[in-house]
Structure 1
Amino acid sequence: MATTKKAASTKKKTSAKSSAASRASTTTVKTVSTSTKKQSLGQHVESAVKSAKFWRALAAEFIGTFLLAGVVIAGQGQPIFVLFALVGIVLIIGGVSGGHVNPAITIGAWATRRIGWLRAVGYILAQFLGAAAAFFALNAFLGGAGEPTAQQSMMGNTPSLFAANDISNLDGKEMFVVFSEIIGTAILAFAIAHATRLKDSLTAAWTAGTGILIALMVAVTAAGYVAASAIINPAIALSLQAFDANNWTYIIYMLAPVIGGVLGFVIRDLVHGKNS
């Protein structure tokens, strides 16, 4: 009987030791796993920064947005100029960076896991810098032209950079602009998201071009009802001086396109499937 009790006691001690060892092992595994994740994040950032392909993509987004902003400003925001410029830019840099040239498109691509967070942040910075550079370059060019003559001033031909219409006095009609920005960007994002999945480059170009045309038509028409500007691109809105820090309406041109961009990508994946 005593022998049986000793055996049971020994078995309990062995079981307790085994359980403690198991917990210690689990803790060690979790610690190692967490450490590995931290290392992999650091390695990911380091490898991206050292990658020439990554920097080429950022340069492509900077140049593409610079050109787009320049065309929008110099072309006085005419939709036909924007259409051809955007299609051309997407065709030129699409193979390098995807041809986003729009923070709303980049955020939509990131939200649907088409690109990583590091590339998304890099793209957005490059896009805003490109748009700002276009504004300053054209402003410097205009300043170098000298003061307008008295005759030009009398006729109202004083040269100035094209800017977005002021929407601070819409008297509650801001929702027209919000609608135009969300719907226009959603259509644009849907077309771009689908075009990037197509294998045939010609079909992809036609898809992107058609989407851009429809997006511009819808956005310009909707915003035109209240004499506002349709921009559907936060970076271009910066170059068009649409942001007024003293007025809350700047949020419209910043937030509404982002909502539309995410919606466009999500709807595309729901309709066609994420991997198709």
Structure 2
Amino acid sequence: MKTTWRPVESTATRAVVAEFLGTLILIFVAVGTAVLAGEFIGTFGIALTFGFTLLVLAYAIGPISGSHVNPAITLGMLLAKRISPRTALEYWVAQILGAIVGAALLYLLAKQVPGLRTDGAFGTNGFADRSAVHLGLGGAFLTEIVLTFFVVWVVLAMTHKVAVTGFDGLAIGLSFAAVHLVGIPLTGMSVNPARSLGPALFAGGQALSQVWVFLVAPMVGGAVAALVHPLTHPPMEPTTVADEQAAA
């Protein structure tokens, strides 16, 4: 007897779990590349890893949750009326918890590597002495706002009804790779508050004292992207798969 597998209808719970797992994977794989392999593959390799990871996640969990894995993207979607406040809150909690668990797993793995230090750096973001080019606070704040604006605007554009369907994951992944190529020498590149918070909790020191910049600036960039997006794309109906799941 032949068994036919049919996809099970997604639920709001699955969407939240997907955001948790997706953010965990992003931290462990992409930030893990910077921590464990940065000296071997350099800035270009790290940037590609972030882009490839987000590309894979876009196709793996995009149909389930939208593959935000980033509080700034979730804020952009909320302000664009693509998701409800309840969905946004659930996603934010899942993303932060996923980032912390992903960073904890990465920390445990890094501790197994002889001579590898986990304090101070650990794939975190920073400015002044913690920037490769000694970028100041103002420059770091501006960098994170502008580059987050770019990626959130791309996400909003590629998930819009007028976008070319089937290629959204590719464009989103490439946009993240591009901003990391620009931003890694400047701030270590965040554009994602959850990505910054998780590793900073384990790095401690200045990484933790400076993390507020990388929590606030990306959210500002995401909000600006949501405000600008209607100027380039026609309005969409404020209904989404995630919200239909929540109402079910």
TM bin, normalised by shorter chain, reads: 0.7 to 0.9
Aligned to 2:103: 135
Query: What is the aligned partner in structure 2 of residue 80 from structure 1?
Result: 48
Shift of 1:193: 0.5
State yes or no: 1:250 paired with 2:218. no
Mark the CA change 1:124 to 1:165 in structure 2 (over 3 Å): closer, same or farther: closer
Percent identity of equivalent pairs: 25
Pairs aligned (count): 210
Match of 1:271 in 2: 232
Q: Give the drift of 1:172.
A: 8.4
Note if 1:90 corresponds to 2:58. Answer: yes
| Aligned counterparts of 2:211 and 2:19: Cα–Cα separation in 1 | 23
Equivalent residue number for residue 119 of structure 1? 87
Tell me, yes or no, if the aligned pair for 1:187 and 1:214 is still in contact at 8 Å.
no
The structural deviation recorded for 1:212 is: 2.3
1:160 paired residue number: 117
Mark the CA change 1:206 to 1:142 in structure 2 (over 3 Å): closer, same or farther.
closer
Amino acid at match of 2:193: P
Note the residue ranges of structure 2 that are not aligned, 5 or more in a row: 1-8, 39-45, 238-248
Question: Once the 2 structures are TM-superposed, how far is the Cα of residue 195 of structure 1 from its aligned partner?
Answer: 1.2
Corresponding position: 1:195 with 2:155: no
Residues 1:231 and 2:221 aligned together:
no
Instruction: Determine the C-alpha separation between the residues in 1 that align with 2:129 and 2:177.
Output: 29
SS of 2:200's equivalent?
A: coil
1:213/1:141 Cα in 2 relative to 1: closer, same or farther (>3 Å)?
closer
Within a 5 Å distance, the mapping from 1:45-84 to structure 2 comes to: 53-76=11-34, 78-84=46-52
Structure 1 length normalisation: TM-score?
A: 0.68
Matched residue, 2:138 = 175
Greater RCO (CA < 8 Å, at least 6 residues apart)? 2
The match for 1:210 among 169, 174, 183 is 174
Q: 1:56 to 1:165 in 2, by over 3 A?
A: closer
- What is the alpha-carbon distance in structure 1 between the residues aligned to residue 154 and residue 23 of structure 2? 19
* Aligned-pair CA distance for 1:165: 5.0
Question: Could you say which structure has the larger radius of gyration?
Answer: 1
* CA deviations over 1:180-204 (Å, ceiling 9, x no partner): 1111110100111111114654232
How big is the alpha-carbon RMSD for the aligned residues of Structure 1 and Structure 2? 2.7
Tell me, in whole angstroms, the C-alpha distance in 2 between the residues paired with 1:266 and 1:210: 23
**Do 1:83 and 1:213's aligned partners in 2 also have CA atoms closer than 8 Å?**
yes
Residue pair 1:103, 1:127 contacting (<8 A) in 2 also: yes
Question: Which of the numbers 75, 100, 109 marks the counterpart of 2:68?
Answer: 100
Matched letter for residue 264 of structure 1: A
TM-score where L is the length of structure 2: 0.75
Q: What's the secondary structure of 2:82's corresponding residue?
A: coil
Q: How far 1:217 moved relative to its partner? A: 3.2
Structure 1 stretches of 5 or more lacking a match?
1-50, 149-157
**Secondary structure class of the residue paired with 2:11:** helix
